[in-house]
Amino acid sequence: MYVVIVADKGRIIRHKTLCRHKEKCYRKNPDHLAEFSHPHLEELLKDKIHKDVDFNELLPENCKDKGLMIKQLQQLQVILREKYAAPPTPPESEATSPVDSIVDSTKSLSIKDSDDASTITKLISTLPTLENPSFKLSSFKRLIKLNSEVTLEAEWKKTLINSYENCESQEERDKIRIVAIDKMKAAGTETGHLKIPGEFKIKYDIAKPYFMFFSTIEESSATWEQLNSITFPEILDKSFGVILKSLHINYKVDTAWLKWQYVLAGQKFNSLVFYSELFDVENISKSIDIEYIQPSTKSGLHHSKISVLLYDDGARIIMPSCNLYEFDWKNRTQLIWISPHLYYLSDNKKSTDGDSKTGFKKDFINYMKEYKNHKLHDWIDVLSKLDYSSINVFFVASVPGHYKDQKYNNSIERWGLLKLSKLLKNHVKLTDDSEKWPIVVQTSSIGSFGKSFDEYLGLEVLPCLSSCDKNDKSKRPDLKYIYPTKKNYDDSYERKTLTSPNPYCSDVHEKQKDWLNGHLYEWKSDGIERNKTMPHGKCYTRLSPDCKNISWFFFTSANLSKSAWGQYWYGYDAKIRTINNYEAGILFIPKFLTEENTFPIGDKNENGTPPFPLPYDVPLTPYETDDEPFVREYLDVIASQEKPAE
């Protein structure tokens, strides 16, 4: 929350595209309102973000749909409240000139020069008007001190990054890395979880055959030495080689944070970044080329998360569940898959050679081509020259568009849910009691599914996820949905900062709670020391009745939603499937990795096959009768109940 206040002055800037429908926009979805700018709504909420508002009084006289605009304003106010933290407000005895008092008090905030004091003054000017008479000056002083520390930290980081960018040798980069670590320690920043460069390949080799990792949790020292816990600098580790250039395709990207990870890894940053939401555009330099991705549908998102690191002898592909900004890599449960080293094909090979038995190369390059962006041409050329035969997983993606039924055109099975279904049907083997193997879903948000289970989940999703060689549609399995409760949030590391990666909203839940609650299960992750984290990963699997095996595992950027997975529409000549989002994921099927029909979980099986690393505990724990899923509005409830610090 505090970082966002500093960010608002220009150090961290969110790139928002104007909604093409402008005043005629009919969307109420919070993701849409957060993604696109709506000046006619934002102007109405000016200076009213943190007030109790009668929205009827805000409506313009020419408003044609009052109900729609009120709903949009309500959703937008929640979004803006999350973006702009409300300042505490002074008591009457101190309210005569709060800004002057705060500026005078900067001398006691360890501000060492006039430039830093000026930064504080500028910060104050960006805050909402101080109108609430219950303001506590001491609280606001601490708020500004915290923000000044963040700003000052950003300044010395910027200085080091600029010096690092001009380094001409590895020796110079290594020296600056040491200085960076020392500065972090001096600033009180946690560094115990960071590893010495050059050792990650050992940890990577131990992760065979799955090569699946979890992000290290800064506030849980128990995760720091786990063999399957990694930090972002470890992904860039020099034990894999010297990085020549990088490609990062993601949703949210903070370029300053991304550069800092390269400093901590001692690697050069020479990157092409595709993004949907960008932070710190002020410090873009020649070493980072940025490209905004505009979803091709009005309600879609560019939500994929892919990185490619190029070395002199090949490349690696990384598929994380994380955005490329600090909060996602601090104290959230995230999943990361890292490919084997993909070496260059010999000169006498064709670009279509070197595919894996899972068809990963063809599917991955076809996805890259769907961006139709000239900046990717050189990358696609490089990717085509690599040998993917060491990859044993499938690449499954979603691309926005309208796709016809397979009897007219096979493109309907190229993307999304139907692509996944086809692979499961062709390659997954289950016993005759397959209906006893439930589908388990764990996501960071929940979509709008309708008034009944069968409206979308039962009609489209469950039949696809149930696909296997013994698929009996008359015997469908249970669907168990893991999603954090409000109590999970209260016990989490993010409770004290009032942040969360889980945007499910109360309005949507209210419409589907009567049937959805019976499918919900608590977030529990004691087994890997992540019970106090909020989950940001999205994964799907099929669990054996005894909770000892899974028949497949799908890890993806896609939450369970119609926009991410697609839904059917019926045209005049064919059944049409519509997908709104860009998404990307990895499918693990046992016969391609272990030559068995299932993956063991928890412990090795009798053949010595290592257990697949699930991010949550099994058996699953159903919601208690008084449990409620965490919703974004719960942050406002907490904020309104908390008393200002004395």
Judged against a pLDDT cut of 90, whether residue 477 lies above it is answered with yes
Task: Assign 37 a pLDDT band (cuts: 50, 70, 90).
Answer: confident
Judged against a pLDDT cut of 60, whether residue 89 lies above it is answered with no
What does the pLDDT look like over 524-563, one tens digit per residue?
999 999 999 999 999 999 999 999 999 999 999 999 999 9
What does the pLDDT look like over 130-169, one tens digit per residue?
333 333 343 344 344 444 444 556 788 888 999 999 998 9
Question: How confident is the model over 271-289, as a mean pLDDT?
Answer: 85
Give the C-alpha separation, 3 to 152, whole Å.
12
Judged against a pLDDT cut of 50, whether residue 97 lies above it is answered with no
Please give, one letter per residue, the 3-state secondary structure of 4-15: HHHHHHHHCCCC
Which residue, among 234, 290, 289, has the nearest Cα to 262 in the 3D structure?
234
Assigned token pair, 283 = 């410090």
Could you give the percent of the chain with pLDDT greater than 70? Answer: 82
Q: Which residues contact 127 (CB under 8 A, 6 or more apart)?
A: 5, 87
Task: Assign 299 a pLDDT band (cuts: 50, 70, 90).
Answer: confident
* pLDDT for 281: 66
Where do the DSSP E strands lie in 514-598? 520-521, 534-535, 538-543, 549-556, 567-570, 575-579, 583-588
* pLDDT for 207: 98
Domains of the chain, each with CATH number or no CATH: 17-81 (no CATH), 167-363 (3.30.870.10), 392-642 (3.30.870.10)
Task: Assign 390 a pLDDT band (cuts: 50, 70, 90).
Answer: very high
Q: Greater confidence, 282 or 33?
A: 33
46 in a known ligand binding site:
no
Q: Is 93 exposed, middle or buried (0-12, 13-18, 19+ CB in 10 A)?
A: exposed
Assigned token pair, 203 = 């940890």
Give the C-alpha separation, 361 to 357, whole Å.
10
* pLDDT for 214: 99
Judged against a pLDDT cut of 50, whether residue 265 lies above it is answered with yes
Judged against a pLDDT cut of 50, whether residue 14 lies above it is answered with no
For residue 598, the tally of other CB atoms under 10 A from its CB is 23
DSSP letters for 128-176: PP---TT--HHHHHHHHHHHHHHHHHHHHHHHHHHHHHT--SHHHHHHH
305 in a known ligand binding site:
yes
What does the pLDDT look like over 38-79, one tens digit per residue?
889 988 987 788 788 888 888 888 888 888 888 888 888 887
Judged against a pLDDT cut of 80, whether residue 118 lies above it is answered with no
* pLDDT for 190: 92
Using alpha carbons only, give the angle 477, 482, 488 rounded to the nearest 5 degrees. 155
Q: What is the mean pLDDT of the chain?
A: 85
Could you give the percent of the chain with pLDDT greater than 90? Answer: 65
What does the pLDDT look like over 306-331, one tens digit per residue?
999 999 999 999 999 999 999 999 99
Q: Long-range CB contacts (< 8 A, 24+ apart) of 607-610? A: 610/209, 610/210
Q: Which residues contact 269 (CB under 8 A, 6 or more apart)?
A: 165, 246, 258, 259, 262, 287, 288
What does the pLDDT look like over 482-497, one tens digit per residue?
999 999 999 999 998 8
Asked if 396 contacts 423 with a C-beta cutoff of 8 angstroms, the reply is yes
What one-character DSSP code corresponds to residue 592? Answer: H
How far is the first Cα of the chain from the last one, in angstroms, to the nearest whole number? 19
Give the C-alpha separation, 576 to 403, whole Å.
6
Judged against a pLDDT cut of 90, whether residue 286 lies above it is answered with no
Asked if 641 contacts 565 with a C-beta cutoff of 8 angstroms, the reply is no
Give the C-alpha separation, 523 to 333, whole Å.
11
Question: How confident is the model over 611-635, as a mean pLDDT?
Answer: 97
Q: Which residues contact 285 (CB under 8 A, 6 or more apart)?
A: 165
Give catalytic residues, as residue numbers: 303, 536
Cα atoms in the 13 Å half-sphere on the side-chain side of 371: 22
Task: Assign 343 a pLDDT band (cuts: 50, 70, 90).
Answer: very high
Q: Greater confidence, 407 or 577?
A: 577
